[in-house]
Structures are given as structure tokens and as C-alpha cells.
Structure 1
Amino acid sequence: MVSDAPTRYRSADEDSARWEDFPFRPGDIVISTRSKSGTTWMQMICALLVLRTPELPAPLTELSPWLDWLVEPQERVYARLAAQRHRRFIKTHTPLDGVPIDPRVHYVVVARHPLDAAVSLHHQSANLNRARLAELTGQPATPEPESPRPSVEQALVRWIDANPDPRAELDSLPGFMWHLRDAWARRHQPNVHLVHYDDLRADLTGQMRHLAERLDLEPPGPDLVEAATFDRMRDRADRLAPDAAGVLKERSAFFRSGRSGQGDELLDAAARAHYRSRVAALAPPDLLAWLHRAEA
């Protein structure tokens, strides 16, 4: 999957082509994740490691813009990043094959168990103000469905079964594995850093220290690690939730649980076996062993 020519990813509210003309600086950090896989968490970790204070000087969305989100005009995002004098850390949900790879730049990819991310996606979907999102992106408003919303268990089974083109639906199971498979193929490159969501949960101090070393930054003190904990971030949802444009119904609901293993718990034995069969066809065994460590 690793290619010199970037793949273009485009949806109603994202377009990876916005990366094409972006002027990188040496030391820039690109945070590339699938949705609900630890994006905001990693943005906060990078903010703390770069700025060296638990009291951020601005909301996280201003410090770490989502470059390819169509809600904000490209020229405004570029201008804000150009004005930053600290080391920059930029958000994207685009896989690395859709972002220019610059040897002077660091790329951090966070991986989460796909079933846990799918559960979070289901709850996040109910928290989105879709009328506001359509207004900001110039899309026609989609009426709310009249039929009852499926349960999280039903939604999870449907998500496992769905088989769209991953380039068209990156938050599908094929899309998740596409993103991670590409990053896995690049993992030995010195400026590509894979981080597992469960490792952040199990040893936040150790993971922040390791990442600081890889990014050539000073190790964090206890105050910085404390500021990156899930509970502390949830307490500060007004400044940390990715909602500068007002597309979330409730900011505190963005930090819903963050727990690992919840997706697997919702499935019966047959559904778990079906999931394992699906992912075995989408990714190599060594990636799956690394990704699914919580099942061991």
C-alpha cells in the first residue's frame, strides 16, 4: 500500500487534497488516526509535550487544527498554522498514504481495537448536530430518520458485516484496517510512530516518555501526565473537545467512556468469530496480533 503518489480521500466534510500545498516545517508532527481512536488524546499529549504546561494557552482545536476538515476554509487553517511559533502538531483522519511524507516531519498513528472504536462511533453519531454540520460544509441538510435508532449491539453487527470501498468510507471496518495496514507497513521508518490506545491506558507515563524521546522532546513531569488522563480531559471538555464550530450537541459527551474491551463484550460467540474472520482477510497476522492484544 505504500506509494509515492498520495491517495485522495474525500467525503462530505473532509478532503485530503488540502494537504497537497501545505508548507511543512522541520519538526512538524502529523497526528493521523481513525475516528474515535484516540485523536484528541494524542493531540493533548503532543500539546503538553510541546508547550510544557497543563494550562494550554488556547483551546486544543486552535492549537492543533484539523487540516483537511471542510468546515473551516483552507486559507484560514493555513494562516493559523503559519502564525504559530511553537512546534506544530496537526490533526488528520487521512491515512498516511494520503498525506505527503516529508523526512523532516514526524507522523504519529494511534491504533485502537476496531470494535471499541465502532462502539464509540455509534455513540458519537447520536451527539452530532447534523444540521449544523451540513450548514458549515454547504451540504443539503439530511432529515433525522423516522425509524428507531438501532441498538449499539445491532449497529456493531451491521458494522462488521458492511463491506464498502475503504477509500469511500474510512470509518467502516475495511477503512479502519486500510488505515492501520498502511501505517503498519511504514512502522520501521524513523519518523513514523505507531501508538496503541491500550498502551496509553495501561501506562500513560511510560508512553508519554517514549513518545517524547521519539519526537526529540523533553520527558513529561507528573503534572503533564495528570493533565493527559481521560478523567482530567473530560473535566475540561469545553476547551478540549473538537467542537470549535459547534457540531456537537454536548461537549462533555464526547469523552463518554474511553474503555477498552467494550466492543468484544457486546458480541456473542458467533459474532466474535465472524469479526475475526473478517479482519483476517483485511490485515496481516502480525498487525492483528498487535492490535488485538486485549483479547489474549
Structure 2
Amino acid sequence: MRTPVHRYRSDDEDSARWTGFPFRAGDIVISTRSKSGTTWMQMICALLVLRTPELPAPLTELSPWLDWLVESRDAVYGRLAAQPHRRFIKTHTPLDGVPIDPRVHYVVVARHPLDLAVSLYHQAANLDRARLAELTGQPAPAGPPRARPPVERWLSSWVDREVDPRAELDSLPGVLMHLSDAWTRRHEPNVELVHYDDLLADLGGEMRRLADRWGLPAPGSELVEAATFGRMRERADRLAPDTLGVFRDRQAFFRQGASGQGRDLLDGAARARYEARTATLAPPDLLTWLHR
């Protein structure tokens, strides 16, 4: 087993919580950037493993976010140790910060960065910052929230921001760093890359492909239907990653789930800047696959 090379830390995450985690053969680690299909992939895994759309517990309990500091490490480890079925574990840590075990499967979901960013913008308005600060032991935010710029202006500034990708993982450099690392591992037998748009275009086909790769039975139509965006939004109380009251509205977590909105919000000059910038941040074959 290879120990993590990089440690990723923020106010509410610490990838060091992976160190010493007792993996089991067949475990599935879901490594994604925020708003890239994390909950969707957790649901797909739950359906493929448990074989029923009637999950025995809320999705976030079945598939905990291991490196989230809101819940103690011991509590997360204990809950996973008690699970008798194949486990599927959430992380927003790139694979170079997670122990790589040959007995374990790793799946990385990629979404067009502009669509990811638009979803981030809207999710920010749905977060209860005071509750999040309370759960992570941070100072409560003071004063009224700052007025946010329109999404078009915010998205253009997100494209242009110069940041350390390892410190700002949800920046454009951070997103492409995460995906570039996964791209270099795509031929490893226990690493799968999944494109968000492939899930939109052929959910059943992608679920069957993953089931085959992971040695699980192929899903029937009932399981595929349970993984559709509409059905998941209907069951937001059980599926949204929020058992501790971090979201103002759980159903709003499942906002649209569509593709193409990010590109449509940029004018020609901003799109050109985006294309030039991404060309410096990721290999061309990854960008061709990501932007198709």
C-alpha cells in the first residue's frame, strides 16, 4: 500500500484522516471535485451494491465523507467498520492524497469545469455558514452576508483567478490538477474515470459498465430509474449530503444537473481566456475528453 504523498487541509477537511484507514478488499473510493457528481456516484454505488432503491439509511450515512472534520474520525471509522456490505466512501481529495491499495477500486467523476463552477456559485447561497462554523469549531460569521456579484461576472473572475491549486481545490487550477492526476492513472486496473455527460447521456450503460468493472451484478431498470436526477431530487431528504443541517434547503442541492450552462454564461472574450488558461493547466488529451 502506498501512503499519501500530499496532505490537503482546509477549515473543514483533512486528508490525513485517510492515513491508517483499514481498507477491505472491494472497497470503492469516490474521489471527486465539489459539484461534479459526487452524490450521484454515491447513489449509483449504493444501488449497485445494495440492489434496492429503498436504502436502509440516509445516503450520507451509508457513504460517509471520510475527511470531513464535522464528524469525528473515530465515529466515521466505526460506522464503516460496522457495515457488512461492500463499502463506498466519499472524498474530495485527489488520488495523490489517498492511500492507493490494489484491493480497492477508485472512481473519479469529471464534469466540465464551467458547469461545476456555476453549481458552486449557487450552492454557496444555500449553505448555512453559521451552522457550518459551529460544526467545525470556527468563529461564527459576523455581520450581514456580503452581496455577491451576478453569476456571469463571478464565473469570469473564477476563470481568471491565480491561486495555489493545492490550497484552493475548487478553483480552476485545483479542478484540473485533481483531474490531471486521475488522468495519469486511468489505465490502472483499479481506477475508473467517469464523465458527468456520459451519465446524462446513458446512465444505464454507465451503471452496467461500472458493475462489470467492480464484479457486481448488472442493474435492472428499477435501479437505473432510481439513479436519475429527477428521482434523486424527489428524495432529497434521504439523499442530500446533509444530516447536520448545513443546507438551507436540501432539495435545492439538486438544482438542475444539466450541462452547458457555464459556457453559455461567458462572452466570447471570456471563453477565449478560459480555453487559453486550461491549455496551460492540463494535457490536451484530457481537455479533449473533458470538453467533448
Same topology, TM > 0.5:
yes
After superposition, the Cα gap between the structure-2 partners of 1:271 and 1:18, relative to the gap in structure 1 and judged at 3 Å, is: same
Task: Output the amino acid matched with 2:5.
Answer: P
What percentage of residue pairs aligned between the two structures are identical?
A: 76
Task: Output the amino acid matched with 2:116.
Answer: A
Task: Output the amino acid matched with 1:152.
Answer: V
1:199-229 CA-to-partner distances (Å, cap 9, x unmatched) read 0000001000001011111100000000000
Q: Which residue of 2 aligns with 1:166?
A: 165
The answer on 1:9 being equivalent to 2:11 is: no
Q: TM-score, structure 2 length as denominator? A: 0.98
1:100-158 CA-to-partner distances (Å, cap 9, x unmatched) read 00000000000000000000000000000011011001011223555421111111011
Q: Which residue of 2 aligns with 1:97?
A: 96
Task: Output the amino acid matched with 1:106.
Answer: H
What does 1:241-252 correspond to in 2, within 5 Å? Answer: 241-252=240-251
Q: In structure 1, how many angstroms separate the alpha carbons of the residues matched to 2:6 and 2:91? A: 14
What does 1:1-296 correspond to in 2, within 5 Å? Answer: 5-143=4-142, 147-293=146-292
SS of structure 1 residue aligned to 2:75: helix
Unaligned runs of 5+ in 1: none
After superposition, the Cα gap between the structure-2 partners of 1:246 and 1:146, relative to the gap in structure 1 and judged at 3 Å, is: closer
Give me the CA root mean square deviation: 1.0
1:132-191 CA-to-partner distances (Å, cap 9, x unmatched) read 011001011223555421111111011001111011010000000000000000000000
Q: TM-score, structure 1 length as denominator? A: 0.97
After superposition, the Cα gap between the structure-2 partners of 1:238 and 1:96, relative to the gap in structure 1 and judged at 3 Å, is: same
Q: How many residues align?
A: 291
Task: Output the amino acid matched with 1:233.
Answer: M
SS of structure 2 residue aligned to 1:194: strand
After superposition, the Cα gap between the structure-2 partners of 1:147 and 1:43, relative to the gap in structure 1 and judged at 3 Å, is: closer
Unaligned runs of 5+ in 2: none
After superposition, the Cα gap between the structure-2 partners of 1:5 and 1:41, relative to the gap in structure 1 and judged at 3 Å, is: closer
